[in-house]
Chain A
Amino acid sequence: MSTTTRPADEYQAKDYKSDLKPIWCPGCGDFGVVQAIYRALSSVGRPPHEIAFVSGIGCSSRIPGYTTAYGFNSVHGRALPIAQGIKLANPDLLVLVAGGDGDGFSIGGGHVAHAVRRNMDLTYIVMDNQIYGLTKGQLSPTSPRGLRTASSTWGSLEDPVNPLLYVLGYGASFVAQGTPADMQGLAAVIEEAVRFPGFAFVNVQSPCVTYGQEEQSLKAQKGIMQTLASLGHDPADRLKAMALASEYGHKLYTGVFYRNPEPPPTYEAEARRRQEETRAQARPRERILEMFRPQ
């Protein structure tokens, strides 16, 4: 299949919007995320049928259905393995992966490190709301210590996961954060992630209006968010990126934490090279069994 990148104005944001009505609560941060994705995709300009959008389970994992791309709303925590199968089977596709913090860092947490080290050209967007919304308000892996929820009547006894630091620690080449409180910035960071040639991670602070905390609301976020650019951060500086990422939960930085200036080759590019190198050794399929004939 040919890769068709068309003039940026050929596809508009509305071309990526499906006619399914979201099940999200009014005011949910995920509405902003899906809008930002429409905008980012229209800027990139790939036709919807060349995009595969994979998710797991959770409120936010409904998102592929709200786009006109080929969607896959799969099982809890397994979006990344499915997305890697898609990308490796057809490297020409633009593959997006999305889900919540529970999907990505609790039940599916074991897959993230491996998706990072294979470095397939995927964009992984986590809508991080520090709570389980779909199951009605239990602790999530990013809930702060002490948080009282439906499953932590007396307060959480655990420290939260730091998604930014985890993914940087795994060795990812592109790590960013955004919030629907800054739609322009969020669309820009998603677009940059999509264009990045390799595994790109975007953590989105997407508040839950039903079970979330007041201080996570978009209004509250607007008062505290700081762009990394305004701090003069150089995204090529990985150690500085890790220092800034360590403040997750305390500060709300948006923009690109780390962008590897020399990213490693992608798995699918290496696979293609191996296919080309070995193609001449293939026996015709109908004579494949001859490899078992002793000489």
Chain B
Amino acid sequence: MSNDIVIGMAGSGGDGIVSAGDAMITAAALEGYHAVLTKSFGPQIRGGESSCRVRISTRPVLSSGGALDLAVALNWEDFLKFGAELPVNGRTTVIYESATGVPPDRLPLPGVTPWEAIAVPIAEMAKQNAGTEKAKNSVVLGLLAGWLGVGRDSLVAGLRKKFSKKGAEVLQGNENAFAAGVQYAAEHPLREPRTLGTSDAMVEGKLVVDGNDMCAAAALFAGCEFFGGYPITPSSEIMQFFGREVWKYGGAMIQCEDEIAGIGAVVGASFAGKKAMTATSGPGMSLKTEMLGLASIAELPLVCVNVQRGGPSTGLPTKSEQADLFQACFSAHGDVVRPVLAPTSVEDTFAITVEAFNVAEHYQTPVILLSDQEIAQRKETVDPIDTKAFTIVERRRPTAADLGKYERFKATDSGISPLSHPGMPGGNYLASGIEHNERGAPTASGEVHARMNDKRIHKLDPLMRRRDLFLVEGDGHAPVALVAWGSVAGTAREALELARRQGIQAKLLVPKLLFPVAEEIYADFFRGVQAGLVVEQSHQGQLYRILRMYVNVPAGMQPLAKSGSNPILPTSIVERLQKIVLGLQRQRVAEVEPAG
């Protein structure tokens, strides 16, 4: 009996491996399980290799998990292309297409002896039962349903939905293929059963959604009425969502001629009084930089999503990385502070996107929402969200008194000035990228420039006291600390729990506000900390370096930084923590008994 199982499957593009993953997560959700589905593809547009990982658990899951419990290889060549993304170890049950002719003791998995290896005639079963090899994925679903004891009815219902339009014959064939898989599993029990149990943490009515769709839906919920953008992997789904949905809410979208025009239209819509958003990934972010500066100096609210992928330049367009943090925080000419927010999961993407709009509108500033490919394109089961619990913030509008002698950039205690928009009588002003005085008139005065910089930068100070944008977990007095952000935060949370079970006292800080750097919140967290790790998926350890710029980081804090597309596993974090704890113990001994 298992409570938590990770399945990894790979095949060539036409094998339907990814749609099998979609079917599994849907079935798991319908039965109340918690699940995460990640997909990974080769660079080819069609065909090529494709894979997915499905993690199904009786309790909430925070990451796509570590080594595979079940590996499904429809052919070895494609499976092996995914390397560390589909890690097989001594506990893995490997199921593979027997037609590949590989004997179970000769698996092409160098240095690894899996728990067991089962060759199944998947293609042959598909052909016999459905008359076509296209039903291979239905056989695989049958095998999984049989061995895991999950989703038999929901999977059949899913097959019916999917194939009903393709005619009775195709549907029957796939149902037969599925049944053959189930039967095969029953006749070939695993070396140790991997049937999934149940728990009281299982909730029905779950949503199944990926980060990009969640982001776009949250934006609509927050009142976003305008999207301008340009297609780029892995963020295009956000634009596509707006293209489908925004009209229904009286809003509009425009697929522009380039990234600059995309954010330009958003700046225009915001000037015209609408909540507006754009979305892109690394290269597009580089192009949008000048417009972000314009929005900062014109004090116009907007949300700019960067779904991070591997960089620089085209880099790894389909793989996740957290290496755009420097860019998000610092890519601007002039003295600019721009809020940067990062969600940690698909579920969290809802709250953080709403927050991004609230911050943008309240402070009249562009906000960068730093998602990553891992979150954006993975599907999660999400428990129903109580949307009524969220506050939606609107920009400060001029009162009748303000409009008497309107000053767009009026000096106020908060630094936030009333913002009019075209159509509002008496609110007429000149928005500009050139420095301007309180009334909006262009100026080259150093005195006005200093005053306006002060206004624009310090209006954001209250953000640095937003403790609700930081998650703290673990033992508050622990001398060992973890800091992690974005999609890696879930992995770090699981590592913290693993470490606790191994007797390691540690605590974790997850910033969802990355910039401006909340110096006091970090200082409080680091009090008493001797050593630890800043865990992130970037070669340089960008968050680690930014923290060293702004915060007194304890000398024992080190980066655990890996280039993108190299998954960070909970176990690898715990291994590093063990070494750190051992180091601290040795140090203590050395202090007590100084070497003679």
Give the interface of A toward B (CB within 8 A): 1, 20, 47-52, 54, 57, 62, 64-65, 68-75, 78, 80-90, 92-93, 110-111, 113-114, 118, 267-268, 271, 274-275, 277-279, 281-282, 285-294
Contact = CB atoms under 8 A, between A and B. Distances in A.
A90 B389 CA distance: 31
Given A84-B264, A88-B268, A271-B247, 8 more contacts: A71-B430, A72-B430, A81-B260, A81-B265, A88-B269, A89-B272, A288-B220, A292-B208
B442 A74 contact: no
Contacts, number: 202
A85 B226 CA distance: 8
A82 B220 contact: no
B147 interface: no
B372 to A, nearest CB: 20
Nearest to A47: B425
Contact of A294 (B30, B256, B260, B293): B30
B248 A49 contact: no
Nearest to A279: B248
Contacts of B294: 74-75
B220 A89 contact: no
A161 to B, nearest CB: 18
Nearest to B425: A49
Given A48-B428, A75-B294, A282-B248, A86 B268 contact: yes
Nearest to B432: A73
Contact of A84 (B217, B265, B432): B265
A73 B208 contact: no
Interface in B239-259: 247-252, 254, 256-258
A63 to B, nearest CB: 11
Given A68-B428, A85-B272, A86-B269, A289 B248 contact: no
Nearest to A66: B430
B250 A275 contact: yes
Nearest to B223: A285
A81 B26 CA distance: 41
Contacts of B495: none
A85 B265 contact: yes
A70 B421 CA distance: 8
B47 interface: no
Contacts of B217: 288-289, 291-292
B265 A82 contact: yes
Interface string B424-449: 11111111111000000110000000
Contacts of A72: 268, 271, 298, 430-432
A65 B442 contact: yes
Interface string B51-69: 0000000000000000000
Interface stretch (B171-179, B380-388, B516-524): B380-388
Given A49-B422, A52-B272, A74-B267, A89 B250 contact: no
Contact of B249 (A85, A282, A289): A282
B273 interface: yes
Interface string B383-405: 01101100000000000000000
Contact of A88 (B207, B252, B271, B434): B252
Interface of B: 26, 29-30, 205-209, 213-214, 217, 220-221, 223, 225-226, 228, 247-252, 254, 256-258, 260-262, 264-274, 276, 290-291, 293-294, 298, 350, 382, 384-385, 387-388, 420-434, 441-442
Contact of A89 (B248, B249, B252): B252
A82 B262 CA distance: 9
A292 B205 CA distance: 10
Given A49-B426, A72-B432, A293-B206, A89 B261 contact: no
A56 to B, nearest CB: 9
Contacts of A83: 268
A50 B422 contact: yes
Chain B at the A interface: mostly helix, strand, loop or mixed? mixed
B299 to A, nearest CB: 13
Given A75-B433, A289-B207, A84 B254 contact: yes
Given A82-B264, A282-B249, A90 B382 contact: no
30 contacts: A20-B441, A47-B425, A49-B423, A49-B427, A50-B423, A52-B271, A52-B272, A70-B422, A71-B432, A72-B298, A73-B430, A73-B442, A82-B265, A82-B268, A84-B268, A86-B272, A88-B226, A88-B268, A88-B269, A89-B268, A90-B421, A111-B257, A111-B261, A113-B257, A274-B247, A275-B252, A279-B250, A285-B220, A288-B221, A289-B221
B272 A90 contact: yes
A92 B421 CA distance: 13
A89 B387 contact: no
Contact of A75 (B207, B221, B251, B290): B290
A85 B225 CA distance: 11
Contacts of A292: 207-209, 213-214, 217, 382
Given A111-B261, A294-B208, A89 B225 contact: yes
B388 to A, nearest CB: 6
A278 B252 CA distance: 12
A51 B260 contact: no
B274 A82 contact: no
The 6 closest A-B pairs by CB, nearest first: A85-B268, A81-B264, A85-B265, A81-B261, A89-B269, A282-B248
Given A49-B425, A81-B264, A93 B272 contact: yes
A62 B443 CA distance: 12
B246 to A, nearest CB: 9
Given A89-B273, A288-B217, A293 B207 contact: yes
Contacts of B384: 289
Nearest to A52: B422
Nearest to A111: B261
A231 B519 CA distance: 73
A251 to B, nearest CB: 32
Contacts of A290: 207
B465 to A, nearest CB: 29
B248 A90 contact: no
**Which of A54, A93, A275 has the largest number of chain B CB atoms within 10 A?**
A275
A64 B430 contact: yes
Contacts of A277: 247
Nearest to B207: A292
Nearest to B267: A82
Contacts of B251: 275
B247 A110 contact: no
**Which of A78, A93, A268 has the largest number of chain B CB atoms within 10 A?**
A78
Contacts of B262: 81
B258 A110 contact: yes
B387 A286 contact: yes
A47 B209 CA distance: 47
Contact of B248 (A68, A267, A281): A281
A86 B429 contact: no
A1 to B, nearest CB: 5
B347 to A, nearest CB: 10
A207 to B, nearest CB: 24
A271 B252 contact: yes
A286 B432 CA distance: 36
B428 A75 contact: no
A51 B265 contact: no
B129 to A, nearest CB: 26
Contacts of B382: 289, 292
